[in-house]
Structure 1
Amino acid sequence: MPLLTSDDFVETLAKLRQRGAGFLLSKLNFSALARTQSAFDDPTLRTANWWILPAVRGRWNAKITGDPARPYEGYVVEKYLRGRTGLRLCSLGSGSCSHELAFASHPAFELVECVDIAGALLAKAAAQARQEGLTNMRFEVRDVNRQPWPTAAYDVILFHSALHHFRQVEAVVGHVWQALRPGGLLIINDYVGPNRLQWTPAQLAAANQLLRQLPATHRRRYMARQLKTRISGPGRLRMLVADPSEAVESEAILPAIRRRFRMLEEKPLGGNILTLVLKDIAHHFLPEDAATQALLRQLFEAEDEFLRHHPSDLLFGVYQKS
C-alpha cells in the first residue's frame, strides 16, 4: 500500500475547488471521528461519482431485482417479508436514509430506525419523513462502535454502503446477530473489495485503458479545469487523513457474515472498473443523448467482462439468523 500516489495530489486540488478550503482544513482535526463526519455530514454536497447516474442505478436494480425500474426495497419485502406486519428494522450508518424511507413506506414495518454519526443528514431525513407522513421512523445520532447492543430487538438490520466503514467487523457482525430476532434478516448493499480502496493491478490496468478511450469532452473533472488522464488509486496517507473509516476492514465483511448467518442470496454489482473510471467525471454521462449512452454501454460491457474473471467489489446480500 503506497503512502502517496499521483491521484492524491490531483484529487486534493479537485476537492479544494469542489468543496473549498474549509473542507480541507477540517481534515487537520486530530479526531478520526470528526474527520469521518466532515466527509459525509453535508446535506448540500454535490459530487460527480458514478452513483449519480440513473443508468448506473438502473444497472444495480436489474442485477438485484431483474428490473431496472425496481429498487431492492420492494423486492425484499415481497420476497422475504410478504404478509408480515409489526416488523422492526434498524439501519446502521444510514446517512441520508433514502432506502430507509422506502422501507418505512411499506405497511409491514412498525419501526424503521436510522442510526448515524451524521446529524445534519439525519435531520434532513427526519424532515422528509414528516413531509411524507411517515410516523414509523426514528432517527438517532450515535456512534455504533460505542453503543450498547440490544438482544433480539429487530427483524431486519440493514447496511447500505455502511458496513465497510466499521472497524472490528467480526465483532460488529456478532452484535448484529445478537440484535436480530430468530429468523431475522441481515441485508447488505455494500463495498466488500480491497481494504482502503487499494485497487489491484488488474483493476488499474483495465480502468486506465478505458479512460484513455473516452473523448476529452467526457474527462474534465467536476468543477475543475483538469482533464482526468490517469488513475493510480489513493495512497495510505490520504485514506487516513480524508476518512479514517473508509474501507477499513472491507475484506473481512463476507467471511464474518458467512460464518454466522445462512446466505439466502448474494448478487454481485460490480464497481471494480466503473468506480475508478467515473470518479469526478460522471456528470458528463448524465445526458441521455445516443452518443453518451453508447459510451456508458461500452463501460458497462467492459466491467461485465472484467467480472467474469474477478470477484465483485460491490455486493447485495440477504442473510438469515438461524
Structure 2
Amino acid sequence: MMRFITFDDIIDTFLKGKQRGWQFIMSKFTISNSSRTKSAFNKSSKLSSNWWIIPYVQQRKNLKMSGDPNINYKQFLIQELLKNKSNLKLLSLGSGHCGHEIELAQYENFEQITCLDLSNERIEAAKKLAKTKNLNTINFICSDISEFNFQQNHYDIVLFNASLHHFKNVEELLTNKVYTCLNSDGLLIINEYVGPNRLQFPKHQIKEINKALKLIPKSYRKRYNSNFVKNRFFGSGLIRMIVADPSECVDSISIMPTIHDNFETVIEKPYGGNILMNALKDISHHFIDLDKEKTDVLDKLFSFEDEFLKSNPSNFVFGVYKKR
C-alpha cells in the first residue's frame, strides 16, 4: 500500500530544517530532478544519525558479508576473490565521496579505478583526498551517467556501493550498459539497498519495526539534535521521497531480479537492515560509544532482525556476479 504523506515526513522535514538549515529545505522546491538529487548529497548530509554510523552495527554487517566482524567487504574481496589478480580496471558508478574506491586504490591489484558521480562537491573532495595519499591509479569524473561513454568489454569490475538503487530503469542500465562494458571474465559487485521502491515498506514490516522500537529505552530514543522522542515509526510518504530526492530507491525492486536474470552468482550475502535501518534512524548517535546496557540493546535488536529475516527477504545485499 502506497503512503503519500506520513507523520514521519513532518518530523523529518522539521529536523532537516534544524540540522541543515531552511535554505536546504527550500532547495527542494525546484522542478529540476537533478538539482534536488544533488542537494541531497551536499556536505551537510553528514549531519545525520543513521544506522551506518554505529561501529557495532558495522561489525555486524562485516560479519555477515565477510565472516569476520573486523574485515569489511573490500578487504574480503582482495583477500579471497582478487588476491591473484592484477592490472584490474574498475568502474564505480555513483561513487559519492569515493571512500571505498580510494581504499581499493591502495592495493596493487588495480591498474585503474574510475569514479563517476553527479556531485561535483563530492568529486572535488575525493580528488583532494586521493592526492594526499599519492594515489595515481584512480581518476574522477563528474557527470550524469547518460553522458558517460561505456567502452565495450573494457572493465574487469563494475562496482555499485549504495548507488544502484538511485538509478532509474535498472534493467536497462545493467543489461545495456554494465553488462556490455564488462569483459568476458568481468564481475559486477554490489553493496546495495534492494528493498521496496521509495521505501514503501509493507504493513507487516512496519509493525515489526515498531515492536523493535519498544526494545530501546526511552532515554536512547531522543532524536538527533532535537527534544523529540521517537515513539513510533510510520514510514516515508511518496511525496516527501520524490521532493527530497527523486532518485532515492526509484527502481530498487528491480535490482535482484535483473541481476539474477543476466548474471551468475559468485557470492551473495544478504545482511538485513529491514529492522535496524528504520528503528535506529535519527537515534543512532546514542550508540556510538557503548556500555553494557547499550550493547545489550543492540544485541536484542540484532536478534530481532535475524528472526524477521528467517521469513522475509533482506533489504540489503552484498553480492558478486559474473556474466552468463
Does the aligned pair in 2 maintain the 1:170–1:256 contact within 8 Å? yes
Structure 1 moving runs of 4+ over 6 Å: none
> Within 5 Å, which residues of 2 pair with 1:61-210?
61-174=62-175, 175-210=177-212
Structure 1 SS opposite 2:46: coil
Does the aligned pair in 2 maintain the 1:27–1:241 contact within 8 Å? yes
Counterparts of 2:184 and 2:15, CA distance in 1: 48
Aligned to 2:225: 223
CA shift at 1:81, angstroms?
1.9
- Residue type matched to 2:66 in 1? T
Which of 261, 264, 272 is the aligned partner of 1:262? 264
- Residue type matched to 1:97 in 2? C
Which of 285, 288, 291 is the aligned partner of 1:289? 291
Q: Identify if the C-alpha distance between structure 1 residues 79 and 213 changes in structure 2 by more than 3 Å, giving closer, same or farther.
A: closer
Counterparts of 2:44 and 2:152, CA distance in 1: 33
- Residue type matched to 1:30 in 2? I
Aligned residue pair count = 322
The TM-score, its normalising length taken from structure 1, stands at 0.98
Structure 2 SS opposite 1:176: helix
Does the aligned pair in 2 maintain the 1:36–1:243 contact within 8 Å? yes
- Residue type matched to 2:236 in 1? P
Runs of at least 5 residues in structure 2 that lack an aligned partner in the other structure: none
Aligned to 2:319: 317
CA shift at 1:82, angstroms?
2.2
- Residue type matched to 2:288 in 1? L
Counterparts of 2:194 and 2:57, CA distance in 1: 18
Counterparts of 1:212 and 1:76, CA distance in 2: 37
Does the aligned pair in 2 maintain the 1:268–1:315 contact within 8 Å? yes
CA shift at 1:45, angstroms?
2.1
Counterparts of 2:82 and 2:10, CA distance in 1: 48
Cα deviation code 1:26-72 (max 9, x no counterpart): 10011001101100132672210000011111111111111111011
Aligned to 2:307: 305
Counterparts of 2:145 and 2:161, CA distance in 1: 15
Q: CA RMSD in A?
A: 1.1
Instruction: Report the identity percentage.
Output: 42
Cα deviation code 1:112-139 (max 9, x no counterpart): 1110001111111111111111111101
Does the aligned pair in 2 maintain the 1:41–1:119 contact within 8 Å? no
Structure 2 SS opposite 1:224: coil
Does the aligned pair in 1 maintain the 2:51–2:280 contact within 8 Å? yes
Aligned to 2:48: 47
Runs of at least 5 residues in structure 1 that lack an aligned partner in the other structure: none
- Residue type matched to 1:238 in 2? R
Pick which of 249-258 and 125-134 moved more: 125-134
- Residue type matched to 1:286 in 2? I
Does the aligned pair in 1 maintain the 2:20–2:47 contact within 8 Å? no
The TM-score, its normalising length taken from structure 2, stands at 0.97
